[in-house]
Structure 1
Amino acid sequence: MRMLLVTGTGGAGRTTHAAATALAAARRGHKVLLVCGDPIDWLPQQHGLDVRRVDPGAHFRAELLALQEHAAPALDLLGAARLDGEELTELPGSDRYAFLKALREAADADADLAVVDLPPLHDAVALLALPGQLRRYLRRLLPTERQAARALRPMLAQLAGVPMPAEWLYRTAARWDADLATVQQLVDAPGTGVRLVVDPGPAAAAALRAASAGLALHRLPLDAVVANRVLPTASADPWLAALAARQQAHLKELRDTHDALHEVPHTGHDPRTPDELAALGHLPDPAAAPRAEWTVEDRRADEGVLVWRIPLPGAARSDLGLVRRGDELVLTVGRFRHIAPLPSALRRCTVSGAALRDGVLSVRFTPDPGLWPRTP
């Protein structure tokens, strides 16, 4: 199954274009799953198209009630009053976890293509990075080597005089890790791409550069960029003609930033029927975009260093942050952050410099004489 993740700037029409892309693929005979965060109740079920809506409220209530049930003995001991589902309202940020659950369920769907209407750009990148981050937290908080000693926990609890984590906690952590691994595999799969929908205005080029850098930081390929609501250039109305001319200038900046730019004309209103969506069928077909490789160059013979080359198109030098933390490199680009494990050869080196040129970050590593094998 291929997956197309659709995001964009706020109000640019990403939900409309996710629905249009899914409908067009279904009408071409593919089995398509459309996962949407915003309601599109006006889109009825079509042949070959399965529409599922993410419901953060229902997901939050179900997860909290399940946690309350597992922790019932401790809560009863404390005299806590149970919460009812009717009184629960989701907390800020809970929509991300509802999306993760929807992506997990999409992995089991009987479909040729899954189109996912993600939140706006910055939230979307954070969401796609979340499975790896949460798995990292689980490994730190509940290491697998400690989980393996389950039979010894009652004895350890008596010796230490403190309660040990309950069995259900380890089972829950294992289930979460398996679900997160499935989502991460789906996002990292060769057939997965991200499509960006932008409104061709003054902030579009900056948003595209930020998207390119944020996605590249997490090695997510940008499938295509869709410029929405493009005005006709030929107009008798001077005001509309001037507006279209300014829009064309912004479109030129977008084309200079990304060569796979597709323009969608302004229809005068947002599509609200399947036939109106089908009129947008000239949108590009979802394609498997190549993922950029992070390569290590061996320059020890000439310069005495190894260089880790990390493609970061759209990144600015002023937005970059770089910190070595043990066997990991903490990379920051603007509002985005990624913790990347070092390749084995670089773990025996020290960071000796970094430079950003032509959209590629080159991090220089000098071999540590105390750790690097001596040459005969």
Structure 2
Amino acid sequence: MPQTLLITGPGGAGRTIVAAATALAAARGGRRVSLLSAEDPLRGAPAPAGLRLARIDSGEEFRTELAALQDRGAAFIGMLGGRPLGAEEITELPGAEQFSLLRALRREATAPGTDLVVVDMPPLHQALTTLALPAQLRRYLSRLLPAERQAARALRPVLAQLAGVPQPAQWLYEAAARWDEELAAVQAVVEAPSTAVRLVAEPGPAADAALRTGLLGLALHELRVHDLVANRLVPRDSADPWVAGIAAAQRAFLDDRERAVPVVGAAHLGRDPWGPDDLDPLVRADGMDPAPGGGDGTAWSVEDRLAADGILVWAVPLPRARKDELDLVRRGDELLLAVGPYRRIVPLPSALRRCTVSGAALDDGVLRVRFTPDPQLWPRAR
């Protein structure tokens, strides 16, 4: 699987421009690059050697998918007296952009002959909700259909003979199986060690708040951060007091960020770049060509403290989190964790399923959830 770099950040930070500069820098370095975007990042200019542009057309993909769904369910629709929609009647619905992006991401990341896939993602919050979709939807499918699926399989032949048409259960479960397979493939790309996020921000107080929340969301979903592109940096040695003040504020922002994530500096061009030639200063910025690899991970880990303290500890990295924005609930064999606007439901590791939650503490950016073995479920020492 090629290296995949997901470009996102606060709105208006220049994500598309940085995505184009990233792809051009890697192509000039000799890598075979695919640049995936819903826009035209090169502004109509032809792509140079080594770079292939892949467009996301959510409207066309939605019409194609709905037409295919109608064809598969034609017998059921006819049985209900319905009439299929014509191609000219189908208009894109909210949410189609997310699914179109995910399908395109899977397609590009599994295509042969590519070394790097650069993805121009939506703004940070929307990008996070999109990347979390495959795992969330697969959980919904597994919860809603498992028991009924077995019964439906046994009844399908009888029901089909009685009615003479494929039954709704058969159509539903076959569709669910296809969805689960497609979602699993996308989830594999998102969670691959070769996939990481390149953040883009224009240094300043607003960006600081957005990035703090975004980094929490990335950590919650265990998404790797490759680096941060600090975009539109002004000269530090300017004689203009106003520019010098901005430069000082940007420097303070970077000093704080560099302790948490590698930073790539991109100078302010004084205008919006237009085409590959205008992008050249950004392309040549030190670090714009991303180093191979998936960036720094934020994987959750289980600490064994049974011998010393009689507990197991699930350590969840949550950089710069605050206690007042955390919510933690144990429900059966799952843990429900909310951090600010983000929520994640994860299955407990097998050892922790046989324990009870005995407490939790947030210390130095790590949430540690304590689990005490349940004597009724834990193997007794002999």
Quote the offset at 1:206 in angstroms.
Answer: 1.8
Match of 1:89 in 2: 91
Query: C-alpha distance in 2, partners of 1:68/1:152?
Result: 24
Q: 1:43 to 1:193 in 2, by over 3 A?
A: farther
| 1:315 paired to 2:321 | yes
Question: Helix, strand or coil: the match of 1:38?
Answer: coil
Change (3 A) 1:216 1:120: same
Equivalence for 1:167: 170
1:198 is matched with: 201
Structure 1 window deviating more from structure 2 (280-289 vs 224-233): it is 280-289
1:243 equivalent in structure 2: 246
Q: Are the aligned partners of 1:329 and 1:341 in contact in 2 as well (CA < 8 Å)?
A: yes
CA drift of 1:68 comes to 2.3
> Match of 2:255?
252
Distance between the aligned counterparts of 2:253 and 2:313, measured in 1?
Answer: 36
- 1:326 has 2:332 as partner: yes
Is there any run of 5+ residues in structure 2 with no aligned partner, and where? Answer: none
Partner of 1:302 in structure 2? Answer: 308
Q: How many angstroms does 1:78 deviate by?
A: 3.5
Q: Do the aligned residues in 2 keep the contact of 1:262 with 1:284 (CA within 8 Å)?
A: no
Corresponding residue for residue 354 of structure 1: 360
Match of 2:72 in 1: 70
Deviation at 1:31, TM superposition (A): 0.8
Measured after TM superposition, the shift of residue 15 of structure 1 is: 0.8
Structure 2 counterpart of 1:34, which letter? L
Q: What TM-score does the superposition give when structure 1 sets the normalisation length?
A: 0.91
> For the residues of structure 1 that align with 2:45 and 2:203, how far apart are their CA atoms?
26
Do 1:293 and 1:311's aligned partners in 2 also have CA atoms closer than 8 Å?
A: yes
3-state SS in 2 of match to 1:5 = strand
Scaled by the length of structure 2, what TM-score is found? 0.90
The 2-side partners of 1:39 and 1:125 are apart by 23
> What does 1:177-256 correspond to in 2, within 5 Å?
177-256=180-259
CA distance in 2, matches of 1:265, 1:113: 24
Match of 2:8, SS state, is strand
3-state secondary structure, aligned to 1:263:
strand
Asked if 2 retains the 8 angstrom alpha-carbon contact of 1:3 and 1:115, the reply is yes
Alignment of 1:38-53 (within 5 A): 38-40=39-41, 41-53=43-55
Q: Kindly state the Cα deviation for residue 284 of structure 1 after the two structures are TM-superposed.
A: 4.8
Name the SS for the 2:107 alignment partner. helix
The partner residue of 1:115 within 105, 114, 118 is 118
SS of aligned partner of 1:90: coil
Q: CA deviation at 1:164?
A: 5.0
State the shift of 1:270 in Å. Answer: 1.9
- CA distance in structure 2 between the partners assigned to 1:336 and 1:32 by the alignment: 32
8 Å contact 2:149–2:173 — kept in the other structure?
A: no
After TM superposition, list the pairs within 5 Å mapping 1:1-12 onto structure 2.
1-12=2-13
Q: Distance in 2 between matches of 1:314 and 1:124?
A: 20
Answer with 146-155 or 180-189: which moved more. 146-155
SS at match of 1:351: strand
**What is the match of residue 126 of structure 1?**
129
4+ aligned runs moved over 4 Å, structure 1? 156-159
Q: Give the secondary-structure state (helix, strand or coil) at the position aligned to 2:101.
A: helix
**Helix, strand or coil: the match of 1:279?**
helix
Q: Classify 1:259/1:76 alpha carbon distance in 2 versus 1 (closer, same or farther; 3 Å).
A: closer
Which residue in the other structure is 1:364 paired with? 370
DSSP-derived class of the 1:302 partner: helix
Q: Deviations over 1:97-155 (max 9, x none)?
A: 00111012113322011111111101111111111111112222333893596354233
Structure 1 pair 203/320, CA: closer, same or farther in 2 (3 Å)?
A: same
Determine if contact 1:208/1:254 at 8 Å carries over to the other structure.
Answer: no
Q: CA RMSD in A?
A: 2.3
How many Å separate the matches in 1 of 2:183 and 2:63?
A: 20
Distance 1:90 1:346 in 2: 44
After superposition, the Cα gap between the structure-2 partners of 1:148 and 1:43, relative to the gap in structure 1 and judged at 3 Å, is farther
- Partners in 2 of 1:287 and 1:108 — Cα distance? 17
- Tell me the equivalent position of 2:19: 18
**Secondary structure of the equivalent of 2:205?**
coil
